[in-house]
Amino acid sequence: MEQPLSPEVERLLQELRPDQPFNAVRIKAARELGKLGASNLRVVEALITAMESDPIDAVREAAKESLWAPAHQEVLKQHPDLMMKVPPVPVRTEGPDWLPEMRSWAEEFRQSLAAVPSRVKSAYQPSGVAHPGSIWRVILGAILGIPLGYLAAAVCGLVVVLLSFLLLRLSITVLGQPGAVWLVNPKSSLSALIALLSLLAMIVVMMLALPFLPAVVVGWMASVGARWGKDRRPSHASWTATIVTFVGVVLPILILVGRAIADSTAIQDMAGEQIPVWGILIGAGLVAVFAVISLMVTYSRAKRAVERQKFCEVCQEYMKSRRLYTFPIAETRQVILHMLDWNLDKLSRTYKFQEDAKNRCEMNLWTCHGHHTNYLELTTYGKVGRKNYNGRLVFSANLRLEHVNRLASALGATPLDEQVSQPVQRRVEEEPHGHHDEVLR
């Protein structure tokens, strides 16, 4: 005689019914039933019904995967007629043993219904090693960023001036049209007005970005110096860029603005007039905002650039990126689930996109020359509905060479060279604390 079901299981069975109007509720109920420690015939029959007749693919897939749970398999063994209706449990090939923190994230992701997961932290973290004298290269790069930053700002300013002249000319052409022209040819007039507004928006954006362009260039040049010196300490580049930006960009502007305010005050005093206090406070506030934003921009720009420059501590060289696959952004959830289950067969059947297609997700592999360290990353570009996911890192893991080769073969890519020289292997064993230690066993 079967044991009575708990109220929680009864609720899940009711939510799994096909007359339940919300698809998300049925999907969640099917997944929750797969976690039961004990099952009976009624639960198994409900899952089989959902697997065979539910109109939503995701519900049918969730019910099928739940039937593979050990508790339901025990019931199915006692009923061969039902066992024949359930696809056999797939034999899972040996895949990566994901880190505990990734397993926790994976469980949360399975429970969510998001088509695209939230942004994740890169599995690669800089080792914090700096070669002797590398800081001087970081300083040199940041100092060279000052004239380059001012040059970039001058070029940007020139472009703003040219666009302003173009805007003026277009304004005279568009706004100077008689009313009859707008009535006779409204489409061309509307297109001209849209071009006018787009040009105006471009000018405004460039003018707002112009004051901070030198700080961005200094931060970028500091990261170039860090790469030149193979400096893997983000703090070196970020703080060097911040100090150089303050001395070479912010401080001169503070001095110029201070002198301008002092000269204006002196002229007003000679004329017997007085500058309003609120005017001085507004000017000082704008300068302070400029200084703070500039320092924050250059700090974050240099820090992120160094963190993204993946370095192999075995080869002592920077890794290179290799595109493995490009698929629709709407398939991101299924691709990640296939990765976590190491179901390479289903992963290989995912629809492949053109590399430059919009609304895509890219699977990139970062590897060193000797393939000692390999990082697999999924990055989304484009939109799902109205939500923008451009440049979002949604999956990152450190894989062993054998798993990378298996994955590349399944996706139709060329496997990596598995030949690793013996001296390099000895070096790995002799350096137990390096960043090259394998994360996935």
So what's the pLDDT on residue 100? 67
- Report the CATH number at residue 381: 2.60.40
pLDDT over 70, % of the chain: 79
Domain boundary among 308, 323, 338: 308
Task: Grade residue 378 by pLDDT with cuts at 50, 70 and 90.
Answer: very high
347: alpha, beta or left? (left if phi > 0; alpha if psi -120 to 50): alpha
Terminal Cα distance for the chain, rounded: 45
The alpha carbon of residue 264 and the mean position of all alpha carbons in its chain are separated, in whole angstroms, by 48
The Cα–Cα gap between 173 and 170 comes to 5
Q: Does residue 99 sit within a domain?
A: no
What's the average model confidence in pLDDT over 128-145?
Answer: 87
Contacts of 264 (CB under 8 A, 6+ apart): 275
* Same domain flag for 248 and 205: yes
Q: What is the pLDDT of residues 249-304, one digit of tens each?
A: 888 888 887 787 777 777 666 666 666 666 667 777 877 888 888 889 889 988 88
So what's the pLDDT on residue 432? 37
* Same domain flag for 295 and 327: no
* Same domain flag for 234 and 295: yes
Q: Which stretches of 187-335 are assigned E, i.e. beta strand?
A: 311-312, 317-318, 320-328
In angstroms, what CA-CA distances link 240 with 202, 248, 303, 386? 32, 12, 10, 40
So what's the pLDDT on residue 350? 79
In angstroms, what CA-CA distances link 196 with 175, 199, 272? 10, 5, 45
* Same domain flag for 262 and 157: yes
In angstroms, what CA-CA distances link 274 with 256, 258, 260, 279, 287? 21, 17, 15, 11, 21
Q: Does residue 151 sit within a domain?
A: yes
Q: Tell which wins on pLDDT, 229 or 109.
A: 229
* Same domain flag for 194 and 295: yes
* Same domain flag for 231 and 359: no
Q: Does residue 125 sit within a domain?
A: no
Q: Does residue 50 sit within a domain?
A: yes
So what's the pLDDT on residue 171? 67
| Count: domains in the chain | 3
The Cα–Cα gap between 83 and 133 comes to 69
Cβ–Cβ < 8 Å for 361, 326: yes
Domain boundary among 55, 89, 123: 89
Q: Does residue 147 sit within a domain?
A: yes
Give the DSSP letter string of 390-412. TTEEEEEEEE-HHHHHHHHHHTT
So what's the pLDDT on residue 125? 86
The answer on pLDDT for 231 being more than 50 is: yes
Task: Grade residue 425 by pLDDT with cuts at 50, 70 and 90.
Answer: very low
* Same domain flag for 139 and 265: yes
* Same domain flag for 296 and 376: no
* Same domain flag for 399 and 370: yes
The Cα–Cα gap between 92 and 341 comes to 8
Domain boundary among 62, 89, 116: 89
Q: Does residue 103 sit within a domain?
A: no
* Same domain flag for 321 and 180: no
The domain in which residue 325 lies consists of 311-430
The Cα–Cα gap between 171 and 203 comes to 14
So what's the pLDDT on residue 429? 35
Q: Does residue 111 sit within a domain?
A: no
Task: Grade residue 192 by pLDDT with cuts at 50, 70 and 90.
Answer: low
So what's the pLDDT on residue 364? 92
Task: Grade residue 379 by pLDDT with cuts at 50, 70 and 90.
Answer: very high
* Same domain flag for 322 and 249: no
The Cα–Cα gap between 299 and 148 comes to 17
pLDDT over 90, % of the chain: 9
Q: Does residue 2 sit within a domain?
A: no
* Same domain flag for 241 and 304: yes
What's the average model confidence in pLDDT over 240-244?
Answer: 91
Task: Grade residue 140 by pLDDT with cuts at 50, 70 and 90.
Answer: very high
Average pLDDT of the chain?
79
Q: Tell which wins on pLDDT, 204 or 21.
A: 21
- Report the CATH number at residue 64: 1.25.10.10
